[in-house]
Amino acid sequence: MTHYSRLAAVALDVPKSDHDRELAFWQAASGRSLRQDDDHSEYHGAHWPGHDQLLLLVQRLGDGEARMHLDIRSDNVDAEVARLEQLGARRVQQIGYWWVLQDPAGLLFCVVPAKPGSLTDDNAQRWD
């Protein structure tokens, strides 16, 4: 199915005990105020300077070790997940309206929905 997708975010996943220190570090490193998401209080983020469509996110984990993951935004999450599965990805967990997947090397990443009409030939990859 024809759809669009693009890299949308680099997410730094940190345990609750390290969150405030990590948030302060990345705010200073990026020169940006990483604002708390209105819908998901565990996320703080802002666009990286010079990359208007790439978010830097600091995500507070309940537990677990610090790690990074990528978010891929798509105008058709189901089609994008199916495409990535054909390439070797594996579904891990659906969380609300997005999917956590694992790439062939075992690294986690997410496929999240795009706002309708926000992805075009100018800012995303078209998949036919």
The Cα-based distances of 20 to 25, 34, 38, 65, 75 in angstroms read 9, 11, 18, 15, 33
| Residues 43/57, Cβ–Cβ less than 8 Å | yes
Please give the average per-residue pLDDT across 50-62, as a whole number: 90
Quick check: 56 pLDDT over 90?
yes
Q: Which pLDDT score is estimated for 54?
A: 92
Q: Which pLDDT score is estimated for 5?
A: 98
Q: What are phi and psi of 16, to 5 degrees?
A: -50, -40
Q: Which pLDDT score is estimated for 40?
A: 87
Quick check: 64 pLDDT over 90?
no
Quick check: 57 pLDDT over 90?
yes
- Residue 94, token pair as written in the block: 């659906």
- Residue 47, token pair as written in the block: 């666009």
Please give the average per-residue pLDDT across 46-69, as a whole number: 89
pLDDT in tens, 4-53: 999 999 999 999 999 999 999 999 999 999 999 998 899 999 998 788 88
Quick check: 1 pLDDT over 90?
no
The structural domains of the chain, ordered by start, are 3-127 (3.10.180.10)
**What 3-state class would DSSP assign to 24?**
helix
Q: Which pLDDT score is estimated for 51?
A: 84
Quick check: 66 pLDDT over 90?
yes
Beta bridge partners of 4: 126
Choose the weakest-confidence range: 51-55, 70-74, 100-104: 51-55
